[in-house]
Structure 1
Amino acid sequence: MSESWGPAIVEAIRRISGTAEDTILPLHEPEFAGNEWQYVKECIDTGWVSSVGSYVNRFEKDLAEYTGSGYAIAVVNGTAALHISLLLAGVEAGDEVIVPSLSFVATANAVAYCQATPHFADVEPKTLGLDVERLDAHLAEIGAVGSDGSLYNQRTGKRIRAIVPMHTFGHPVDMESLLELGERYRLAIIEDAAESLGSLYKGRATGTFGLFGILSFNGNKVLTCGGGGAILTQDKELAAKAKHLTTTAKVPHAWAFDHDQVGYNYRMPNINAALGCAQLERVPLFLERKRGLAFEYEQFFRTVPGISFVTEPEYTRSNYWLNTILLDRSDMVVRDRILQDTNAAGILTRPVWTPLHLLPMYAACPSMDMYVTIEMQGRIINLPSGTSLAREK
C-alpha cells in the first residue's frame, strides 16, 4: 500500500491546486498582489530605504494592533528577535533554557548566542509542541530551587532561566498549562511564534502570552518582508529596552553618536517594513485561503489508510502555516520514498527538521527522554502550503 502513497499524493495535490503536471509547487511561496509595489516604490522614490522611515513605525503599530500585543519592535529576522528577548528576560552566560528539540535550529542558536545552553524537551503528538505534563515531571526530577529562588539543574549545577515554546507549523502550544508551569518554577516564557502569525489560542494571538513573543517574516512565512522579524511584549519598559538594544544602543541625539551599552544592529530597514505593511493588509485573506487548503487536504487524507492529516488542537485556531501529514508509524524508508516520489513530480514536500539534540553542536546538551520527537522524525511530511494554491476557483 505504501508504494502507492507518493503517486496518490501527487495526484491529489495537482487536483486540489488545479496545476499542470509540469508546474513546480514550492513548499510555501510568497504572494504579492496588493500594495507591495506601491509602498516599496515610495521608499525608493523618497530615498528612505534603510533603518529610518515612516513604514517601520507604521508596521510596528499595525502589527501590535493586529496581534493584540501592547508593543511590537521590528527587527531583521526572527532569530535576532529571539536573541534580544532572551537577553532582556535575564538569560546569562552559563544558564540553561528549555527548548523543544523538534524545532528549527534558530531556536537553539539564539540561546547559544547568549552563551547559554539549550536544555532540550520532548513534544506531544497532538500539537507537536512542548509536552507540558512530561516537562513538569522532568523538572521535578532534575530541578532544585536555589537560595536565590531560581530553579537549578541538579545534574549540571546550572540555573534554568527560561522556557521557549515553539508553535510548530502554526499550531499553538497549550499555553495555559505552560504559563502555570513557568510561574511555579519562576521561569520566563518566551514564545517562538515565528511560524504562527494569525494563530489563536483560546481566542488570543500566539506570541502575546509570554514575557516576550517573536515572529518571523522570512520569505516562506504567512506574511513576508523578504526578511524580518518582530518582538512582541505587553510591557512598555521592556519594549523600550528592546528598541534601544536593537538600534545599537544609540543615545537619542540630533547628530551625536553616543552609545550607552553593547547594542545590536538588528533594525528592520524601511523598505522591508513597507513590504510588511502591504502584506499585513492581506493576512486575513491569506489565512482564509490557507484554512480552505487545509480543509481540502484533510478531506483527502481521510480516504488514505496509514496516513493522517494534522489538524488544529482543541481551543485553537491555526494558521496552518505548513500543512502536515503523519504516517501511522515511524518509518524513514517509507517517508523518504514519499518525499522522493513527490519531489520528482515537482511537488516540493519536506521532512521535519533533524531533531536539535541530534545535531553535533548540541549533542552534549542536557535533555529529557526524546521518544516522541524521534518517532515524529520518521512520520512527519510537510505539503505545499502557499496561499496561491487556494485561490478562488
Structure 2
Amino acid sequence: MSDQLIQFVRDYFKTLEFIPLHAPVFPGREKEYVADTIESTFVSSVGAYVDRFEKDMASYTGSSKAVATVNGTAALHISLKLAGVEAGDLVITQPLTFVATCNAIAYCNAEPVFIDVDRETLGLSAKALEAWLEENAKLDTEGVCRTRADNKVVRACVPMHTFGHPADLDGLISVTHRWNISLVEDAAESLGSFYKGKHTGTFGTLGTLSFNGNKIMTTGGGGMILAGGALAARAKHLTTTAKKPHAYEYIHDELGYNYRLPNLNAALGCAQLEQLETFIGAKRALAAAYEDFFSGTNQEFVREPADCRSNYWLNAVICEDKAHRDELLHTTNSQGVMTRPVWTLMNHLAMYRGSRRGALSNAEWLESRVVNLPSSVVVE
C-alpha cells in the first residue's frame, strides 16, 4: 500500500522531487501588494493593508469584527483573557491538538482539562464534555461552574477544528450554555470551513484563526480574532500595548501586548484571501482523489462531517494499527514523500502530564493510527 500511495502522490503532484506536507503558493498579487507596503514605508503594525485585511476577513467569515494579530497563539491568548480566564481557572480543551492551544491557556496561568474527541470529527466530544461536567462540576449559587473537589472555576471551553474539519458545534454550544462556560473556538486550521452554512470561529464568544506558513493561506506568520464589536475593540486595545489614542503622548492604561500584525504581512494576506476559494477548491479536489484511492482498502480516509464544508487543510488517513502507521510513515518519508503522525497527545507532554482529564480512549486510539498526507494546493 505504501508504494502505491507514493506513486499516487507523485502522479498527482507531477514531480519526482521531494513533496512537502503543505507548502504555500503565491500565484496572485502577493508581490505587488508587498512591494506597495515597502514603497509606502508603512511596513509595521499600522497601515492600509492591516485595516483592509481585517475588514475583508470579517466579511468572508461573517464575523462582526476581526482583529489581526502577530500569530494564532497570540490571538488565542487574548481571546481567553477576554473570555474572563484568570490565573487558577480551568479551561477545557482536547488532548488531540497542536501544542499552541494549551500554551495559550498556560499563558493565562490557567490549567487545561483534557476531554476526549469524537472519532467522526477528531474534535472535542460534546458527550464526553457533558459526562465529565456531570461527574466533576457544579453550578454555584451565582451560576458559576466550579469543580466539586476543589471549587476551581471552569471558565472556558476551547474546541479545535482538527485539520479543518468542524467539531460538533451544536452539541458543544448546548453543553457550554447549560454550564455557563464561555466557548472560545480555536479555528486556526479551519479558515474556509463551514458548519451548517456558518463559518467556524463565529459560534463562540470569540474565535481565532492562524495564517502560519503551513496554513491554507498565509501571511508568513499571523492570526486573527473573530469577535463582536465591543470585544473586538478590547482585543485591538490589548494587542496594541493598551495605548490610549493621542496625537503624540504615550499613555498606556493597563497591561497590554505587542501582538499586532505588521502591514507587510497583512498585504500578503490580502492577496492570499483573494484566492482562498480557489485554494479550497483545489484542496477539496485533492481530498476527493485521496478518498477514491483509499476506497476499498483497510485504511480509512478522514472525511468532512455531515452538514459541513471542510477546507481539508491537512488530509488524513486512519491506519489499521500503530504498526501499519509506522510502516507507512517510514516508507513514505524515506522516499521523499512527507507524511506525519498526528500530534503527541497534550497529556503525554511533560508540561501537561499532570493536568486533569477525562477518559481519552478515542484520542489515544487516533494517536496511534492517524497519518497526515501531502496536502499542498495544486495550482494549474
TM-score class, shorter-chain normalisation, is: over 0.9
Q: What is the Cα deviation at residue 140 of structure 1?
A: 0.4
Match of 1:176 in 2: 170
Match of 2:259 in 1: 266
How far apart are the structure 1 equivalents of 2:177 and 2:324? 43
Which of 374, 382, 385 is 2:375 aligned to?
385
Match of 2:318 in 1: 326
Name the aligned partner's letter for residue 295 of structure 2: R
Name the aligned partner's letter for residue 244 of structure 1: H
Q: What is the Cα deviation at residue 148 of structure 1?
A: 2.6
Match of 1:13 in 2: 9
Name the aligned partner's letter for residue 52 of structure 2: R
How far apart are the structure 1 equivalents of 2:110 and 2:199? 28
Match of 2:309 in 1: 317
* Secondary structure class of the residue paired with 2:226: strand
Q: List per-residue Cα deviations over 1:158-207 (Å, max 9, x = no partner).
A: 11001001000000011111111111000000000000000000001001
How far apart are the structure 2 equivalents of 1:204 and 1:75? 23
* Secondary structure class of the residue paired with 2:53: helix
Q: State how 1:88-127 maps to structure 2 within 5 Å.
A: 88-127=82-121
Q: State how 1:1-393 maps to structure 2 within 5 Å.
A: 5-20=1-16, 23-233=17-227, 235-303=228-296, 305-328=297-320, 330-331=321-322, 333-388=323-378, 391-392=379-380
Segments of 5+ residues of structure 2 without an aligned counterpart are: none
* Secondary structure class of the residue paired with 1:136: helix
Q: What is the Cα deviation at residue 156 of structure 1?
A: 3.7
Aligned-residue CA RMSD in angstroms?
A: 0.9
Q: What is the Cα deviation at residue 157 of structure 1?
A: 2.7
Name the aligned partner's letter for residue 376 of structure 2: G
* Secondary structure class of the residue paired with 2:91: strand
How far apart are the structure 2 equivalents of 1:156 and 1:171? 35
Q: What is the Cα deviation at residue 45 of structure 1?
A: 1.3
* Secondary structure class of the residue paired with 1:189: strand
* Secondary structure class of the residue paired with 2:357: coil
Q: What is the Cα deviation at residue 119 of structure 1?
A: 0.5
Q: What is the Cα deviation at residue 75 of structure 1?
A: 0.2
Identity of aligned residues (%): 52
* Secondary structure class of the residue paired with 1:158: coil
* Secondary structure class of the residue paired with 1:387: coil
How far apart are the structure 1 equivalents of 2:356 and 2:136? 10
How far apart are the structure 2 equivalents of 1:378 and 1:246? 39
Name the aligned partner's letter for residue 19 of structure 1: T
Segments of 5+ residues of structure 1 without an aligned counterpart are: none
* Secondary structure class of the residue paired with 1:84: helix
Name the aligned partner's letter for residue 161 of structure 2: H
How far apart are the structure 1 equivalents of 2:258 and 2:12? 44
How far apart are the structure 2 equivalents of 1:156 and 1:112? 19
Which stretch shifts more, 113-122 or 154-163? 154-163
Q: What is the Cα deviation at residue 308 of structure 1?
A: 1.1
How far apart are the structure 2 equivalents of 1:156 and 1:174? 29
How far apart are the structure 2 equivalents of 1:10 and 1:33? 26
Q: List per-residue Cα deviations over 1:130-156 (Å, max 9, x = no partner).
A: 111121011101111123311111234
How far apart are the structure 2 equivalents of 1:8 and 1:102? 29
